[in-house]
Structure 1
Amino acid sequence: MQTEKKIKLFLVDDDALFLKSLEIEFLDPADFDIHTFATGELCLENLKENPDIVILDFHLNGINKSAINGLETLDKIKSFNESIIVIMLSSQDKIDVAIKCMHHKATDYVVKSETAFFRLKQIVTNVLHSQKIEKTLHWYVNKMG
């Protein structure tokens, strides 16, 4: 019996409590191989593990003021591998911040709120579903063509 590969999920946030809550939220269902990082630098050091999805905080300098921020981390992730899905997360409910993230090739932007975990799971599910459809379509086109 063939089992599907777990989705490698990187969670990056300098708020330890929020990061742990996010990790717990994605432990169920157990479809994910979860790696957590408190800084963008630690995330970048581990990119060789080829994450499928990165959920990345916009502000990452709450503990270390000289740490790189989420936007810089996003740019470096995309220069490493354009196809890594990056979902930005922020406590800022400002449209210009969300637009800036999208211009830097983020897949989506979620505001930290009481619905953030639900929205993140919904976005991840939609992304994975659409990737599955693309793979099936690609296989079908190659088989028929």
Structure 2
Amino acid sequence: MNKNKIKLFLVDDDAVFLKLLQIEFMEQANFDIETFATGELCLESLSHHPDVIILDYHLDGVDPDAINGIDTLDEIKAFDPEIPVIMLSSQDKIDVAINCMHHKATDYVVKSETAFLRLKKIISTTLETKKLERQLNWYMDRM
């Protein structure tokens, strides 16, 4: 894998939406993408060290007993609190977004025709912020 590529996990139980999202990101050429239909499959692959995870809020379409997006988010943050997780949902409700943020999601995006553009911008901003934080920490360690 090219070291300059962003390791991106896409987690959604809607196979069609997941494929569309994968195609959109693949066209950007700077992503190494892994897709998962359940939170459990995503959690099993965290050792692949994703740079960013895009996670659906509801994940019970494939398996009604599957863990939901919030529980998956909690498990991801327990594994590594530094992994940025962007929650994605068809729920256009402020209380759902606030709940995601309380569980330490990086951001919340409603599934819509502009979702991909918002996701791309959030990923770019998030990774740039992480890079600046690393540089600042490096600088402060040498003072």
TM-score by length of 1: 0.92
Give the 3-state SS of the residue equivalent to 1:66 in structure 2: coil
- Residue in 1 that maps onto 2:129: 130
Runs of 4 or more, structure 1, over 6 Å off, are: none
CA–CA distance in structure 2, aligned partners of residues 65 and 140 of structure 1: 49
Residue of structure 2 in register with 1:71 after alignment: 70
Identity %: 65
Deviations 1:30-72 (A, max 9, x none): 2221100011110011111111111000000012111111011
Q: Which amino acid aligns with 1:63?
A: V
The aligned residue for residue 119 of structure 2 is 120
- Determine whether 1:62 maps to 2:61: yes
Superposed displacement of residue 141, structure 1? 2.9
Which blocks of at least 5 consecutive residues in structure 2 are unaligned? none
> TM-score, normalised on structure 2?
0.93
Post-superposition CA distance 1:100-131 (Å, at most 9, x none): 00001101000001111110001001001111
Separation (CA, whole Å) in 2 of partners of 1:133 and 1:17: 36
* Runs (5+) with no aligned partner, structure 1: none
C-alpha deviation, 1:4, in angstroms: 4.5
- Offset of residue 7 of structure 1: 1.7
Tell me which amino acid in the other structure corresponds to 1:132: K
Q: How does 1:134-145 map to 2 (within 5 A)?
A: 134-143=133-142, 145=143
